[in-house]
Structure 1
Amino acid sequence: MKFIPVDTTGALVMVAQEPRPKLKNRQTGELAFDTETGAPLMTLDVTFVANGQADILSLTVPQPGVPDDLTPGTLVALTKLIARPWENEFNGQKRSGIAFRADAVTASMPAFASANG
């Protein structure tokens, strides 16, 4: 499957919504798990600011890579962020988009913060 590494150098990334379990099936509430490790997957919405533009990205992250204390407004760093194009068809309607996945999320300090506070 094709994927594109995303360069987060110089980007400001902030939690927009608290992490929540990723659902495999919204109708049944079935949870999603990583196919390689079996770890539960989480969904995390972040504000991603780079090159003068801000976007809200919905990321998939394995649960072991998500700290318990992430709250909206927390500045974070993303480990191995990738973008994966997807396409599907349902009832004759084609849909496509880009899915984002990171190996881990860690709280970070903004680049402009000084050591003296």
Structure 2
Amino acid sequence: MLRNIPVVMSHYKMQVTEEPVVKTRENETGEIVPVTDWQGAQQFVVSLFVKARPQEGQRPGKGEEIRVTLETAPDDDVTDGAVVELHNPRVSHWENDINGRKMSGLSWKATGIKRAA
């Protein structure tokens, strides 16, 4: 699988649609626990609406909502509706076979997030 492919997002506008929260998962006992990396650092997740910036002479694209895992805690000013930039954005392809049904997609990750200038 292709993992941690760097992505250039400079031609895209990103707006927060759900504020960052601690990323959690359900463990084998059913308890909800925070997700950490291999060093024990807490992970966060944020939902963004991503849309290509308009180019002269072209119709604007539709855009899409994505969920991004953040490796560092976001600043307090990254709130709902804020236009933001990602630090070191990456994408990984994933694939699962669940009950004979193949599913695949992209997972997004970034070192951090900040308000756009």
1:5 aligns with 6
Percent identity at matched positions? 27
Aligned length: 107
Q: What's the CA shift for 1:28? A: 2.5
Q: What's the CA shift for 1:53? A: 3.0
1:105 aligns with 113
1:59 aligns with 68
1:79 aligns with 87
Kept in 1, the 8 Å contact 2:11–2:52? The answer is yes
2:57 aligns with none
CA deviations on 1:27-73 (whole Å, 9 max, x unpaired) are 531221012x3211111000111162311010000233x11232111
SS in 1 for 2:40: coil
Pairwise CA RMSD of aligned residues? 1.9
TM-score (norm 1): 0.80
Structure 1 residues not aligned, in runs of 5+? 110-117
Structure 2 residues not aligned, in runs of 5+? 54-60
* Alpha-carbon distance in 2 for matches of 1:83, 1:53: 20
- Note if 1:34 corresponds to 2:42: no
Q: What's the CA shift for 1:18? A: 0.7
SS in 2 for 1:63: coil
Which amino acid in structure 1 is aligned with residue 2 of structure 2? K
